[in-house]
Structures are given as C-alpha cells and as structure tokens.
Amino acid sequence: MDFTKKRWIVLAACCMINLCLGMTYSWSVFAGHLAEKLNVADLSIIYAIAVPWTPLAMIVGGYVNERIGPRKLYAILGVWYGLGIVASGLVASTGMLIISFSFGVGLGSCILYALIVNSSVKLFPDKRGLAGGIVTATFGLSSMIVSPIASNLILRRGITSAFIIIGVVFTIIISACVMLVQPVPSGYVPSGWTPPVSAANGIWVDKDWKQMIRTRSFYIMLFLFASGTFSGMMLISQASAMAQRVPLMRIEMAAMMVSALALSNTAGRLVCGALSDRIGRINALTVGLFSTLGGILMLMLCGPGDYLLFGLGTSLVGFGFGAFLGVFPGFCSDRFGLKYHSTNYGVLFTGYSVVGVVGPSIAGRMYHATESYDRALAVAALFSGFGLLLTLVYRVANGHKKVGH
C-alpha cells in the first residue's frame, strides 16, 4: 500500500494509543478511593509531582526517539505505562504510589504523548495542523471515556481490581497499536504535494534545540504558549468549584460544566488545528486567544443563576485552550523543522508546564483571600491580552509569510 494512504492507518493507531493515555486526567476518579485504602487524608501531591516532570520527560523521550526510532520506544513505554497502572492498585503506601503513579503512569504517558504527536506531525507534512489537531483531540477525549469506565469498575470490582484491569487492557491495546506504527521514511513527501522552498528566515529549515533557543521566534513562541494556556489551566482546576460558587449551580450541574469544558477543549484542538493549515498557525492561535478572552469576560459578568452565561464562558475558554494544544505541534515544526521535532516541542512545552502549576495556584490563593474569582479572572484576562500582543510581535519579527502568518 502507498505510504500516503497507509499513514491514515498509522494515525488511527496513534489516536488509539492516545485514548489510553488519559489516566492522569482521570486522577480525581481514583484519588478518593486510594486515599481511603491507604488511610490518608489527601493524595493531591501525586498529581502535583507528575506535572513539573512533563517537559523533561518529553525532551528525554524525544532525544531517545530520534536515535532508536518509534516502534521500540513505544513498545517499552507502553509496558512501562501499563505496569505503572497495575502497580498503583497494589501499593500499600503513599511513597510507593508516588513511584508507581507519578513516575510510572505520569512519565510514561507524558513521553508517549509527545512521541505520538511528533509521529503524527511527521506523517502529515502537508497537513500538520490537521494531524496535530486530531491526535491531541483524542487525548482530550480520553478522560471522558476513561473516567466513567473507571468509576464503574471501582464500584463493581474495587479500586485494586480496577487498576489491574485497566492497566492490563491498556497495555494490550497500546502493544497492538504499536505494531501498526511505522517510522516515517527519510525525506518523505506525500503524493501530489510539493514542499515549500526553505525560506531565508528559517521556516521549514531543521534546527536542533540548541539552534532553536538562539532564535527570537523561540522566546516569542514560548511566552505565547504560556499566555495562551494560562486561563485554560486555571479554569480546569477550578471549574466545578467555580460553578458552585459563582452561578450557584448544584453539584450535578457543576459536573456538567466540567464535561462541557472537556468537550470544548477537544473541539478547539481539532477545529483550530485543521483551520491553521488554511489560515496560518498564528491566525488560528489568535482565534483561540479571542475565544479565551471572550469567555473570561462572560465569566466575570456571571452572578447567581447565570447558568447559560457561565456555560458559554467556560466553553469559550476551553475552546481557546484546546486551540493552543492543537496548533502548537505544527507551529513548532513549521518554525524549526521535523527532524528534531520531538525534542524541540518538549523544550517549548516548558511554557505550558509552568502555567500548569502557576495558574491553578493563583486561582486558589486569590479565591481564598477574597472569596471571589474576580481577581483571578482579571489576571487570566491580562495573560490573554499579553498573548494577543505576542501574536503581533511574532508577525512583525517574522514578516507576513505563508506559514504561520
């Protein structure tokens, strides 16, 4: 079969792997039951430890991937990830859980996610935004699929059996999908597509991470990534609590807001990723920022009983957040090439990881200090406004080129 056609099968396999990687996003489903089993009050430290390691894991994984190829590394990581899940159900202490979940499940999923995104972008040099949007969207859907399945298993079989069953099933699925993953041929050009000529400003030219960090574009993109995802990370951590405290929703309705946020996040990845192939990466990111800013303003206007306004605001912020995660893989490859994309994207991901820690912390502290989300939302609006400013800076710094204009 022609590789141009076969690549869609490989992309489908990558998406299936990503659907299995949502264990960390579903952590809240397991945390309470594990805390009861281990006789501890809180297990939030488990998730907190996993987050800061994300960019380092992606960078190391990318470095290894560029040397041994995807199939072997995917197989190793799939087993690592699955064993981490199984072990998390068997542990007898918080310390052991930190090793099994934070470093087993957390690091395994981070590295696999980065490599899956990298492979997908390389498969579609002609449709980088679409490929990045599809594969990141499936990761966004993962928590919506894993959470209800996990809840049902926990109720029927108990927390230990739930971990073991999920770990074994995910290992089998990932291992089967790995058999379909193939390295992208060197210099691969899809049938009927003519690659653009390398430009003087560096677009489409391969740069490693050392060369990348010496460019102006890297720092603009790094801060843009952080600014564009700050609001989404803040809202993800506070959505349920905010829904109950601002428009005074019942717990059941607040849970619906969390689901709406996840759906809009997924839609943003897919829609803006595909859109970026047509209108340019920076324009698609601008759409995401305007969506986020509009959503924040709606949330700031919310009062008791404003359910619809809160739901619209939440969805717009989720859509804008998803836009950045869907567009940035293609954006990175446009600016710095495909050869070192695994490592380069991991370095850029540090911007996202920092706000993943800072955003939720700011929201929580400001609410407890003032018993209001107004200040936290104002900070989020400032970050989005700064992001819009950075899109203008990027345009000026790089001119009005076809890619990323």
State the pTM of this model: 0.85
Q: How far apart are CA 133 and CA 130, in angstroms?
A: 5
> Which residue in 177, 52, 44, 31 sits closest to 106, CA to CA?
52
pLDDT at 66: 67
pLDDT at 199: 44
pLDDT at 339: 83
Query: Average pLDDT for consecutive 10-residue bins of the chain (405 residues)?
Result: 82 93 76 84 68 72 71 88 94 88 84 86 90 90 83 90 95 93 79 66 72 95 96 86 90 82 92 95 97 97 94 96 95 90 88 82 84 93 97 87 47
Residue with tokens 């690091």: 107
pLDDT at 211: 94
Residue with tokens 């980088």: 128
Q: How far apart are CA 327 and CA 277, in angstroms?
A: 9
pLDDT at 204: 59
Q: How far apart are CA 178 and CA 234, in angstroms?
A: 34
Domains and CATH numbers, the chain: 3-178 (1.20.1250.20), 209-398 (1.20.1250.20)
pLDDT at 171: 95
